[in-house]
Chains A and B, each alone.
Chain A
Amino acid sequence: MIEYIKGQISSYFTDSLLRIVRDIVVHMKGASRSEDDPNSSSGLPQIEGDPHRGDASLEFIKHVCAVLALDQSVQHDVLVMRKNLLKYVRVREFAPEAEFRDPCHSFILSNVICSYCNDCRDLDLCRDSGLLSQEWRCGVLQCGQPYDREVMENALVQIARQRERLYHLQDLVCLRCNQVKAAHLSEQCACAGSFRCKEDATEFRSKMQVFFNIALRQKFQLLQECTSWILELRL
């Protein structure tokens, strides 16, 4: 069975994907020539926090290979196919832009306890399909009790507060020698390099944006106010 799939991947899938990628490349070239706009060569919307968003063909290859590679038994063959496809679009195999990044944000709220059945679990508030609806219910099939909104909102508010406090307590690291800054008043490291934050402001804001989106979706007013102040959003 596995031999059959492996064979299929190296023959059928590789051929059809190569054909599709070729079509995409030709199509994109035609589209970009007709528009004559160098900026929209990728034709894809930019996602915040992902600087390595390639063009349509590269994204297609990355996504398809990521899905196929989920099956452990054929992973090797999928990697070989991926290498060939990437060679076709002239992208190095281990380049940063060839790495697959899940565009969906993820935030895990740990130790959520159901008041009815005392079930304790971690919830991924962004990716769990059962939580995308308005009401959050206990995952245990026989229970289904809605979670206490106030408790959930408070948990999220406390995490947001803690993260904000931690941002201002973080260490500064030298750009050159990667040493943690010890002195307070100096602007340069002993190796004459300048400093950077361990957690950048943009990184921090993108994580806080997840909270803001959750607050909007679930209509948590206090969390929304707190996160919008942290993100400096002018309402």
Chain B
Amino acid sequence: MSASTRKKVLRKCKIRGRVLKTDALDEILSFVSRFQGPDEDEAIDLLLDELELESQKSTIIEKESAHRVVSRLLEADAAVEESSDPCPAGSSAIRVVDAFLVPKFRYDPIRKQFYEHTGSLPLHGDASAKAALYRDRFLLLSQRLSRDQNFSKPAFESEFSHFGSCEISPIQSLVGQTGRRWVMGVISQLEDGHFYLEDLTASVEINLSNAKITTGFFSENTIVVAEGEMLVEGIFQVLTCGFPPLEDRDKSLRQLAGHDFFGAGTLTKEETIRLADMERKAVNDMFVILSDIWLDNEEAMGKLETVLDGFESVEVVPSLFVFMGNFSSHPCNLAFHAYSTLRSQFGKLGQMIAAHPRLTEHSKFLFIPGPDDAGPSTVLPRCALPKYLTEELQNHIPNAIFSSNPCRVKFYTQEIVFFRQDMLYRMRRSCLMPPSIEETDDPFQHLVATITHQSHLCPLPLTVQPIIWNYDHCLYLYPTPHTIVLGDKSQQKAFKYTGITCFNTGSFSTDSTFVAYRPCSQEVELSAL
């Protein structure tokens, strides 16, 4: 049996264009020997598919990668066998990933692949970390752009490639050139009042006065693709300006070669299919998201009580309640010092929730701090609320989760990102020119377009919103998640943009608005009291 199996494995490998090393072959054979008959072929196919996903770049399959895939498949097999229960407890369905635990991946432009940064990530980086922040953002978007059909380099030199070719030229090459060129760069204000486009090679001053722009907020620190001409004075006259085009989520995932960008762990193909199936079947799961819950405002607490009472009496209680900050009507500044009162107010909230037994038992509670909440810093990403404030609440509700801002949640295979920041107001203030009204008039849609095209939750200049230099990757939206939840004090809105569901819950304490979200169908119910 082993000789024929051996030949079979080698033949299948050859068809896929791979070369197997002898020790890798032994590993594979030991795995395949567990299966008999028709299962054998299936097992070999599955194994080779997984190996293909693992080692995309090299044609030689080594023992280590074979061993990794084998052990993964065996684990998945064991897991499938023991969990005969098709619907696991809600606890494993919802995975909360704290921003500080998200793995950091950097793009190597020479090898053209992502590699994981496995060293330490201090909160206070050195000078190179600040430059790396900008460079990594730029590289992320430029590698995405290189795969876009319009901007990729033509494979063969031919007459036709010069028509409509939007090949990106490095800014350094603009010196002494005439004619229309396409460049990609970060808008920076290197001198007062003068705007420059900066890329990895050089920077050039630009004139945006006659530029035709696409949808979105063009502010300092956003990465744009611009077409224009180099003038004699050394200024690049921009004719059209836009954001780097979006890439399909599946296409991005294929390029990542199994790296876990989201932070919730990688899944095998089998597991993905199984979980997607469970996700579709989980019709009753609902998330209730509220933002701006002022614990010191009696009216707001009364409204919250009404909401909780309402959900207590529903047939199937929501599986997750997300409470986003700010938790106090007074921002945390020099004037506000009543922290012990705040602590007891959290305790009262805990009591209020505990007074609803069905919710306490079956729902999870996630607390995300707001920008003005008490805590170590106002720099993004913000860490969870301090234990001093939340101890009493934790006593009442043991399974309350306190997470960072922003926060990532994985529901089976659906990726949801929560971010509590007044992005709309701040982006409107920082943008260089009024957004184009050609496609849409709604500022929220402009905001969604901006953050998705930039693949970043907060593309504001660092002086407006400082970011921890080593933790910029926590704010990335790459590959684009399924859902983005923004907590913003502006009006409640929902918008579906190229398959991404994005909504703003609105401020609960001022407008009494909140959102009920059904993840299985990505349905958003904008609600108000």
Say whether A and B bind each other. yes
- What residues of chain A have their CB less than 8 Å away from a CB belonging to chain B? 148, 150-151, 153-155, 157-158, 160-161, 164-165, 167-169, 172, 182-187, 194-197, 201, 204-205, 221-222, 225-227, 229-230, 232
Q: Is B468 an interface residue (CB 8 A)?
A: yes
State A89–B11 Cα separation when bound (angstroms).
81
Complex interface: chain A residues within 8 A of B145 (CB)? none
Q: Is B316 an interface residue (CB 8 A)?
A: no
1/0 contact string of B186-219 vs chain A (CB within 8 Å): 1010110000001110010000000000000000
Residue contact B124 to A204, C-beta cutoff 8 Å: yes
Residue contact B134 to A172, C-beta cutoff 8 Å: no
Complex interface: chain A residues within 8 A of B138 (CB)? 185
Residue contact B188 to A184, C-beta cutoff 8 Å: yes
Residue contact B190 to A172, C-beta cutoff 8 Å: no
Complex interface: chain B residues within 8 A of A183 (CB)? 188, 190, 198, 203
Residue contact A184 to B126, C-beta cutoff 8 Å: no
Shortest CB distance B187–A (Å): 10
- Check A195/B466 contact, CB under 8 A, given A151-B337, A185-B186: no
Q: A151-B337, A201-B126, A222-B339 provided; 5 other pairs, C-beta below 8 A?
A: A186-B131, A204-B124, A226-B376, A226-B386, A229-B383
Residue contact A185 to B131, C-beta cutoff 8 Å: yes
A151 and chain B: residue at smallest CB distance: B337
Residue contact A195 to B128, C-beta cutoff 8 Å: yes
Secondary structure dominating the interface of B: loop
- What residues of chain B have their CB less than 8 Å away from a CB belonging to chain A? 122-128, 130-131, 134-135, 138, 186, 188, 190-191, 198-200, 203, 221, 332-334, 336-340, 374-379, 383, 386-389, 462-463, 466-469
Which of B122, B190, B203, B468 meets A168, CB within 8 Å?
B468
Closest 9 CB pairs of A and B: A154-B337, A226-B376, A168-B466, A195-B127, A164-B377, A201-B124, A184-B134, A150-B337, A229-B376
Residue contact A230 to B123, C-beta cutoff 8 Å: yes
State A194–B377 Cα separation when bound (angstroms).
29
Complex interface: chain B residues within 8 A of A194 (CB)? 127-128
B135 and chain A: residue at smallest CB distance: A185
Shortest CB distance A91–B (Å): 32
B341 and chain A: residue at smallest CB distance: A150
Complex interface: chain A residues within 8 A of B336 (CB)? 154
Complex interface: chain B residues within 8 A of A205 (CB)? 124
Complex interface: chain B residues within 8 A of A232 (CB)? 122-123
State A185–B190 Cα separation when bound (angstroms).
12
- Check A201/B466 contact, CB under 8 A, given A183-B203, A185-B199: no
Complex interface: chain B residues within 8 A of A155 (CB)? 334
- Check A164/B376 contact, CB under 8 A, given A196-B127, A232-B123: yes
Shortest CB distance B120–A (Å): 10
B338 and chain A: residue at smallest CB distance: A150
Residue contact B463 to A169, C-beta cutoff 8 Å: yes
Complex interface: chain A residues within 8 A of B123 (CB)? 230, 232
Complex interface: chain A residues within 8 A of B128 (CB)? 187, 194-195
Residue contact A154 to B198, C-beta cutoff 8 Å: no
Complex interface: chain A residues within 8 A of B126 (CB)? 196-197, 201
Complex interface: chain B residues within 8 A of A148 (CB)? 337
Complex interface: chain A residues within 8 A of B338 (CB)? 150
- Check A222/B198 contact, CB under 8 A, given A168-B379, A184-B134: no
Residue contact B130 to A172, C-beta cutoff 8 Å: yes
- Check A195/B131 contact, CB under 8 A, given A158-B334, A183-B198, A229-B383: yes
Count the A-B residue pairs with Cβ separation under 8 angstroms: how many?
A: 103
Residue contact B127 to A153, C-beta cutoff 8 Å: no
A148 and chain B: residue at smallest CB distance: B337
Shortest CB distance B194–A (Å): 11
Shortest CB distance B174–A (Å): 16
Residue contact B131 to A201, C-beta cutoff 8 Å: no
What are 29 A-B contacts defined by CB distance under 8 Å? A148-B337, A150-B339, A154-B339, A158-B333, A161-B375, A168-B462, A168-B467, A169-B463, A172-B130, A172-B131, A182-B191, A183-B188, A183-B198, A185-B134, A186-B131, A187-B135, A196-B126, A197-B126, A197-B127, A201-B122, A201-B125, A205-B124, A225-B387, A226-B375, A227-B376, A229-B376, A230-B123, A230-B376, A232-B123
Residue contact B339 to A153, C-beta cutoff 8 Å: yes
Complex interface: chain A residues within 8 A of B203 (CB)? 183
Complex interface: chain B residues within 8 A of A169 (CB)? 462-463, 466
Complex interface: chain A residues within 8 A of B469 (CB)? 168
B469 and chain A: residue at smallest CB distance: A168
State A161–B382 Cα separation when bound (angstroms).
12
Which of A167, A196, A201, A222 meets B374, CB within 8 Å?
A222
B387 and chain A: residue at smallest CB distance: A225
- Check A182/B190 contact, CB under 8 A, given A161-B377, A226-B376: yes
State A169–B124 Cα separation when bound (angstroms).
11
State A194–B128 Cα separation when bound (angstroms).
9
B380 and chain A: residue at smallest CB distance: A168
Residue contact A164 to B337, C-beta cutoff 8 Å: no
State A183–B200 Cα separation when bound (angstroms).
11
State A154–B338 Cα separation when bound (angstroms).
9
A228 and chain B: residue at smallest CB distance: B376
Shortest CB distance A171–B (Å): 10
State A8–B462 Cα separation when bound (angstroms).
61
Residue contact B127 to A165, C-beta cutoff 8 Å: no
Complex interface: chain B residues within 8 A of A153 (CB)? 337, 339
Residue contact A185 to B198, C-beta cutoff 8 Å: yes
A154 and chain B: residue at smallest CB distance: B337
Complex interface: chain B residues within 8 A of A185 (CB)? 131, 134-135, 138, 186, 198-200
- Check A225/B388 contact, CB under 8 A, given A164-B377, A182-B190: yes
Shortest CB distance B240–A (Å): 23
Residue contact A160 to B127, C-beta cutoff 8 Å: no
Shortest CB distance A51–B (Å): 18
A202 and chain B: residue at smallest CB distance: B124
State A159–B386 Cα separation when bound (angstroms).
17
State A226–B462 Cα separation when bound (angstroms).
22
Complex interface: chain B residues within 8 A of A160 (CB)? 376
Residue contact A165 to B386, C-beta cutoff 8 Å: no
Complex interface: chain A residues within 8 A of B377 (CB)? 161, 164-165, 230
State A155–B127 Cα separation when bound (angstroms).
30
